[in-house]
Amino acid sequence: MSLTGVRDDRKPADHSVTPHRLLVGVRAVPGGNQVLAAVLVALALGMASASVLGPLVLGLIRYRTSSTTLNQLEGADLAVLVFVVPPTLLVALLAFRRHRAAPVLATGIGAFALYTYAQVVIGQEYLRLPGNVERFFPLLLAVFVLAEAAVVLGVRATTSDVPAPSPRVQRAASVVLFLVAVFLVFGQHLRPMLSAWQDPSSLTEYASSPTPFWLVKLMDLGIIVPAAVAAGIGLWRGADWALRVAYVIFTAYTCLGMSVAAMAMLMSLRRDPDASVGLMLGFGAFAVVFAAITMLLYRPLIAVADAPPADLAAQGVR
């Protein structure tokens, strides 16, 4: 019963984030970009091609790296095929249909691809170990450039009035980012670095492939940790810029968490000397948490995109 005495049988709005709700009832909004959709389709095809051509499926790409790092690359290829390529195609469809969530999703996927394929190209022992990965450099370069384009076009198409989730969700996201930073520094990288400094031969991963070892340390400690800490502080303080960054970070971190969890799982299944059940469980847990927080962050954005015109006017959305 409404306050005016007129019975109101309307059901409360369901703002849960599901693929069905993403695709049904989408309304065109400023900033929709069909070029972004085309870039995302090309990026998905490029990532899928690199994964299928690699040692995981066809074995045409032979990486110049050690067996332990090869397990990590194959795990990343598995995650890309299962957890990254399908969502990228879905986001391409959302961009084509001018969904407000598409640009920030595209930016996060592009950031993940930049991180991943930079390591694939740079982290090889080109003059020391056998392989032919350099012959596939044009493909890997195309994936990298498409990822850059997805980031640039996604940032350009993102509206400035990104709706904010509840303060509780923002605080939870902030805490997760702080935990990630602590885990990467003290749980993932500090011990191997100390071993590499003190007794390099005792660490199989480092002794066999020092290039990817230090590359991952540089990117995680120089990019991911600072970004997590900065965004975590901003979210805790309720800064507007931090919310826009958080959308991108959590999208990219969800993809990255799935990728690293797949790496750890494959290493454990193959009894890799550097495998760790603790790290596998830890990254698996982070992947699940990231996915949950990402859905909560996107919930108001999906709700705005799916709201009827009258509700949009009431929210001040034009």
Helix H, strand E, coil C: the string for 73-115 is HHHHHHHHHHHHHHHHHHHHHHHHCCCCCHHHHHHHHHHHHHH
Asked whether the predicted pLDDT for residue 247 surpasses 70, the reply is: yes
51 inside domain: yes
At residue 24 the predicted structure's pLDDT band, cuts being 50, 70 and 90, is very low
- Please check whether residue 223 is in contact with residue 115, taking contact to mean a CB–CB distance below 8 angstroms: yes
- Residue 313 belongs to a domain: no
| Residue 83 clears pLDDT 70, i.e. is over it | yes
Find the domain containing 47 and state its range: 32-308
| Residue 100 near residue 159 (C-beta atoms within 8 A) | yes
- In-domain check, residue 43: yes
pTM: 0.81
Give the relative orientation of helices 167-182 and 225-237 as an angle to the nearest 10 degrees. Answer: 150
pLDDT at 188 over 50: yes
Could you give the CA distance from residue 253 to residue 286 in angstroms, rounded to a whole number?
9
Domain count across the chain = 1
**Whole-angstrom Cα Rg for the chain:** 21
Residue 15 placed within a domain? no
In angstroms, the CA 103 to CA 59 distance is 34
Structure-token pair, residue 272: 């890799």
17 domain-assigned: no
* Portion of the chain with pLDDT greater than 90, in percent: 47
Q: Phi, psi (5° rounding) for residue 29?
A: -135, 160
Indicate the pLDDT class of residue 304, thresholds 50, 70 and 90. Answer: low
Amino acid 10: pLDDT: 45
Amino acid at 47: M
- Look at residues 164, 28, 50, 47 and name the one whose alpha carbon lies nearest to residue 102: 28
Q: How far apart are the first and last CA of the chain?
A: 30
pLDDT in tens, 38-56: 999 999 999 999 999 999 9
The answer to whether the beta carbons of residues 173 and 295 sit under 8 Å apart is: no
Scored b (16 or more CB within 10 A) or e, 138-155 reads ebbebbbbbbbbbbebbe
Mean pLDDT of 221-246: 91
The answer to the question of residue 273 being in a domain is yes
Query: Is 236 a domain residue?
Result: yes
Residue 29 CB neighbours (<10 A) = 17
Closest CA to 285 of 183, 170, 165: 183
Looking at the domain assignment, is residue 25 inside a domain?
Answer: no
